[in-house]
Structure 1
Amino acid sequence: MTDLAAALASAWREHRAIASAAWTDSVGDAAQAYAVQDRVAQALGWFGSAAPGHWKSGGPSRDAVLTHAPLPPAGVRASPASFAGMHFNAPGIESEVALRLCEPVTPERAATLTPETAAALIDAMTVSIEIVDSRWKDPAQATALLRLADQQSHGALVLGAWVPYAARDWAAQVCETRIGGSAPELRRGTHPMGDPAWLLPVWLRHVTQGGATVPSGTVVTTGSWVGVLPVHEGDTVVVEFPGIGRAEARL
């Protein structure tokens, strides 16, 4: 794990991608992948002694094992955001809704949460655009554990204006994504878990499992409504969730 963390930290630092084949057997389970995440963050000095302020969490369905990653603060920007001059290896984008905690969450509190009770911990939501990127040259060939070790293929995050959180008819919620001059991608009710807040108990139990308390104001982005859409340098991406807001990013 030490060698893998060093290789990924170098790839982040030097803005390059590395071949995954040599590392296929270097991560045996999710616990080891999360340990690599932590070592990469420490090597790059992302958080210092502070708790991560932004996370990604999600999965393909409620029946799947959800995955999580803390996000480097330098890549988190308010909409409209420009990433001109920031290097990405092979970026894509995900259209998401992010949620913000209104109070600290201890391990004891996290252990008691259900999807129904966890929503009370959220005071605000916003439209988010995750720029997905990989330190693997061949991300489609990299194992799921290698992608997890690589901060779950995170590149950067854009956050729109915050609005008060309220339960919505998520099955009827529209998501509109526009990339450059292409026709808009329209989705309705396509959040993989049906409700972005559903994952909160799983995510909070993950973050607190070492005994840490998650601070008030911590933000989690909750999974893509559109899968991963390809983007290129110079593209402008606009994502809108009617009734919630919009976010804009230029690569």
Structure 2
Amino acid sequence: MPFADTATPFLPAALAQALQTATVTGHAVDAAAWPASLDAADIIAVHRERAQRWGDAAQAPQYWKSGGPSRSQPLGHAPLPPQGVHGNGADLGSTPFFLRGIEAEIALRLGASVDAEQAAALDEAGATRLIDAMAVSIEIVDARWQQQLQAPAALKAADLLCHGALVLGDWQPYRPVDGALQPCAVQIGTQPAQVFENRYGLQDPAWLLLQWLRYATAHFGPLRAGTVVTTGSWCGLLQAAPGDAVRVQFEGIGALRVQL
């Protein structure tokens, strides 16, 4: 079935509610019933509507994802629901995921608040100085669309960039990380562990901070100290199955486990 792209007015609240309902019920949405093309303002509006539904109506969300395949390509940013953020060793076996994609990431935490005016005046070094801690993280990639990852790119972006859940390891003081030198190991279920080296396209997780801070504060308001952003996958997109345990280790940074 072709994807819709009609003259019917697009209502961000309607799409946000459909995606929220799918998250709660485990019944996927048919992408063919929604416009295949959305502009950036539409996607932001859907994200804002989603944030209001999970409880971030009066303040900017505390959890975010940001990233992209390389520095030469546009970054994507999305707020994340706090209800889907978990600690090391979490058991998510009862969560109704449609997919169970696995991305091993490094999360960064703001040590100070920042507003749009402050973010606009920052340079890359200043943005990095706002970070007080880092942690190993696992993002569970999911899609509320019946077409899953074959849905149009705009609809996947509206779906919180295909976010399912976030698992965070122990926080430790921030230090720079060189993507060319930092290995990452991932084991899924009974599969042998895979080691990924020099696969992180942004080279340094802190590189995206300036763009993310300006985006988030411009569209969602001031960010609080303690706000967390994940910074993109070091292992591409791996696949897990129900019942798998997933283990991620960044040598010298930490290890993390989640049960699916």
Query: TM over 0.5, yes or no?
Result: yes
Whole-angstrom distance in 2 between the partners of 1:192 and 1:46: 33
- Match of 1:189? 198
Please give the secondary structure, in 1, of the residue aligned with 2:137: strand
Q: For residues 211 and 80 of structure 1, what CA distance do their matches in structure 2 show?
A: 31
Return the match for 1:140 from 139, 149, 166.
Answer: 149
Q: CA shift at 1:199, angstroms?
A: 0.3
In structure 2, relative to structure 1, the CA distance for the partners of 1:190 and 1:114 (3 Å cut) is: farther
Report matched runs for 1:90-109 at 5 Å: 90-109=99-118
Counterpart of 2:163? 154
Pair 211,76 (structure 1): closer, same or farther in 2 beyond 3 Å = closer
Number of the residue aligned with 1:39: 49
What is the TM-score normalised by the length of structure 2?
0.91
TM-score using structure 1 length: 0.94
What does residue 85 of structure 2 align with?
Answer: 76
Rounded Cα–Cα distance in structure 1 between residues aligned with 2:110 and 2:32: 39
Q: Which moved more, 1:128-137 or 1:162-171?
A: 162-171
1:237, 1:13 → 2: CA distance? 23
* Whole-angstrom distance in 2 between the partners of 1:9 and 1:87: 13
Q: Distance in 2 between matches of 1:40 and 1:162?
A: 27
Contact 1:20 1:141 survives alignment (8 Å): no
Map 1:108-123 to 2 at 5 A.
108-123=117-132
Cα shift readout 1:6-45 (whole Å, capped 9, x = no counterpart):
32222123222122122133x4212211211211232x33
> Within the alignment, does 1:124 sit opposite 2:133 as a pair?
yes
- Residue range with higher mean Cα deviation, 206-215 or 145-154: 206-215
Aligned length: 249
Structure 1 residues 213 and 224: alpha-carbon distance in aligned structure 2, compared to 1, 3 A threshold: same
Give the % identical residues.
47
Q: Deviation string for 1:93-136 (max 9, x for gaps)?
A: 10000000011111111112233331111111010000011101
Report how far residue 211 of structure 1 moved.
6.9
Following superposition, the deviation at residue 141 of structure 1 comes to: 2.1
What is aligned with 2:253?
Answer: 244
Partner of 2:208: 199
Counterparts in 2 of 1:210 and 1:56: CA distance versus 1, 3 Å: closer
Partner of 1:226: 235
Equivalent residue in structure 1 for 2:14, among 3, 7, 11 = 3
Structure 1 residues 160-195: Cα deviation after superposition (integer angstroms, max 9, x where no partner): 111111113331100000001101121112212111
Q: How far apart are the structure 1 equivalents of 2:50 and 2:121?
A: 31
What are structure 1's unaligned runs of at least 5 residues? Answer: none
SS in 1 for 2:86: strand
For each residue in 1:187-219, what CA deviation from the matched residue of structure 2 results, as whole angstroms up to 9, or x when unmatched?
112212111000001101111114721111100
1:107–1:211 CA contact under 8 A, matched in 2:
no
Structure 2 gaps of 5+ residues are 1-10
**Structure 2 residue 16 is matched with structure 1 residue 15:** no
